[in-house]
Amino acid sequence: MALSVAGCGGSGGGETAGGESTTSGQGMAAEVPAGFDPCTDIPKSVLDSEGLHKASSNNNADFDGAGGIKWRGCSWVVSNGYAAGITTTNLTVEQVRANTKLTIRDDYLIDGRAAVAANRADHKNPRSVCTLTVAMQGGSIEFSLDNPDSNRLTGGQDTCVLARGLAEKVVPLVPDDA
């Protein structure tokens, strides 16, 4: 359920202490941020508070996109409600903001971290999808929600509002150095 943002450009890169490059040729980190695994580091109590559960036995949401973009995480669903992918990615908030194929819905500060809510500019029903990207060192954590109007439980709610509520529960779990 990752949001395709191929073609983003970033600013600069870096090196590890050993001199290895930490960025791909696209000006972004070569790997997703370390220090938080959305599949194992979100407590069941947080998932339960949203009514989230695995849609299948394999809720893996790992994806490698064009230009070295990567997502690592898991996906969940709310019965009769929204579906959510929570992934770490090597895309930064700034790269998402700069993507001309996206419509920026809102800018936030979540647990002291910059965040941006966006959806594809060409989407037929932009209220039904939202990707909320929250800054991490070397990339971000991304909350990709799909919430069709036909979903009895949440279909009438703005998907970016749902994404922000979920992010406000998860982001405080991300270590400060991640």
Residue 145 falls inside a structural domain? yes
C-alpha–C-alpha distance, residues 161 and 166, integer Å? 9
DSSP string, 8-51: -------B-TTS-B-B-TTSSBSSPPSS--TTTSS-HHHHHHHT
pLDDT tens digit sequence for 165-176 = 999 999 999 999
Residue 8 falls inside a structural domain? no
pLDDT tens digit sequence for 98-114 = 998 899 999 999 999 99
Number of structural domains, the chain?
1
Residue 36 falls inside a structural domain? no
Does the global pTM surpass 0.75?
Answer: yes
Residue 27 falls inside a structural domain? no
pLDDT tens digit sequence for 39-55 = 999 999 999 999 999 97
Range of the domain at 100: 44-173
Residue 118 falls inside a structural domain? yes
Residue 34 falls inside a structural domain? no
Residue 115 falls inside a structural domain? yes
Residue 25 falls inside a structural domain? no
